[in-house]
Chains A and B, each alone.
Chain A
Amino acid sequence: MGLLNSVKNFVTGGGAEVIVNIENPVIDGSEPLRLSISATAKEETLAVKKVYVEVKAEEKSANTKLLYNTTIELEKNVQLSAGENKSWSCEVPIPEDIPATFFGRHSSMQWYVNAGLDVPGMDPDSGWQKFVVNRPITFSKDSKSN
């Protein structure tokens, strides 16, 4: 069973439970996104290469276009014993030149965050969580002419 579990976790990334808590899920862009991340190893000790947070902005209509993507490394070479819980916190600035959240009738632009552990064979993560950026759009001269 233990071996089977290891294989399952290897495939599914289920070796740990990762939760990202967004402290300010609706922001105006002047403040950074404040996150706290917690990870609990499930049944075995995990050698984590790195703990990371990803933030992306995605535009959707019939297809999906990535407008922004960044990865922030929180810690390297972490060991999590079975049942052990560790937590991290970070602040992610939202770049000014990327549009705010937008909802049309047939399209949208949304912001997401995901926290994960880089473990060989598996990357347990929190899944993409939405947050909202409400701010007036700023344009450069070039983008106005688009």
Chain B
Amino acid sequence: MKKGLAILIRKVKPPRHQRNFLIESTKYPPTRMESSSFFEDFYRNKRLMGIFSKIKNFVTGGAAEVKVVFESAETDGARPLRAFVVATAKDDCKVKKVYFKIRGRETYVKLVHHHTTDGDGNSTSTSSYETHHETHFENELVLAEEEHIDKGSTKKWLAEFEVPEDALSTYHGKDVAFKWEVFAGLDMPGNDPDSGWVEFFVLKKMNYSLKTV
């Protein structure tokens, strides 16, 4: 087994004169080094790949990695929350604005009735339980405008916010949930790079009375 592995390593190890080149361009290592036209092809392909990469990032929002980092992801409802939006550019990014959304959303199960009628006029009724969402609260902050992030560099912005006074506490049940979440994004041409929804926790004591129930 060990012998087989050693042979495999020897086979993939490039000749000595290629090694530095491989270190410099690990993404597109050449397999043939004999002719100068090879280099022309290689660099043309690399430029093309760069263009394709830009198009891909335009479509997927992959031009930057966006993360939300909370100082503390918990509040009692009265204490403001502080979160940093950290963006690392994988390509040069010209950002119109850095936005930060906050939402409080209820997830619940709803019985939904479906009625269908076929071409012969026969109708069928079916019912199913479906998961639904309702947003109770949403807000958007603009953290920065007209930003430029160079490829490979990282920038961060501080978002400081409060939940409303009448905010419901976070709830995680079986079918039901009430979640507080934030979402950071970079407004750029094409799809915006974003953090996705990141949950934080409102751990407050509610004030329900017997009349409420």
Q: Is the pairing of A and B real?
A: yes
Residues of A within 8 A of B (CB): 25-26, 28, 59, 61-63, 65, 67, 99-110, 130-132, 134-139, 143-144, 146
Asked if B172 contacts A143 (CB within 8 A), the reply is yes
**B205 contacts across to A, CB distance below 8 A:** 28, 100, 134-136
Asked if A107 contacts B176 (CB within 8 A), the reply is yes
Asked if A102 contacts B178 (CB within 8 A), the reply is yes
Instruction: List the A residue with the shortest CB-CB distance to B112.
Output: A62
For the complex, count residues of B whose C-beta is within 8 A of A: 33
A80 to chain B, nearest CB (A): 30
A136 to B206: give the CA distance in the assembly, Å. 7
Asked if A132 contacts B213 (CB within 8 A), the reply is yes
A65 to B171: give the CA distance in the assembly, Å. 15
Q: Contacts A102-B169, A104-B168 known; A26 to B176 CB distance under 8 Å?
A: no
Q: Which of B2-10, B37-45, B102-110 contacts A (4 or more CB under 8 A)?
A: B102-110
A109 to B169: give the CA distance in the assembly, Å. 12
A26 to B207: give the CA distance in the assembly, Å. 9
A61 to B133: give the CA distance in the assembly, Å. 12
**B109 contacts across to A, CB distance below 8 A:** 61-63, 107
Q: List 23 A-B contacts (CB under 8 A).
A: A26-B209, A62-B110, A62-B129, A63-B109, A65-B173, A100-B169, A100-B205, A102-B169, A102-B171, A104-B136, A104-B176, A105-B136, A106-B108, A107-B106, A109-B173, A130-B213, A134-B205, A134-B208, A136-B205, A137-B172, A139-B170, A139-B203, A144-B172
Q: Is the interface of A mostly helix, strand, loop or mixed?
A: loop
A25 to B213: give the CA distance in the assembly, Å. 11
A105 to chain B, nearest CB (A): 6
Asked if A104 contacts B108 (CB within 8 A), the reply is yes
B42 to chain A, nearest CB (A): 46
- Does B71 sit at the interface, judged by CB under 8 A? no
In this complex, which of B132, B170, B176, B210 has the most chain A Cβ atoms within 10 angstroms of its Cβ? Answer: B176
**B12 contacts across to A, CB distance below 8 A:** none
A59 to chain B, nearest CB (A): 4
- What is the 8 Å Cβ interface bit string for chain B, positions 23-46, against chain A (1 contact, 0 not)? 000000000000000000000000
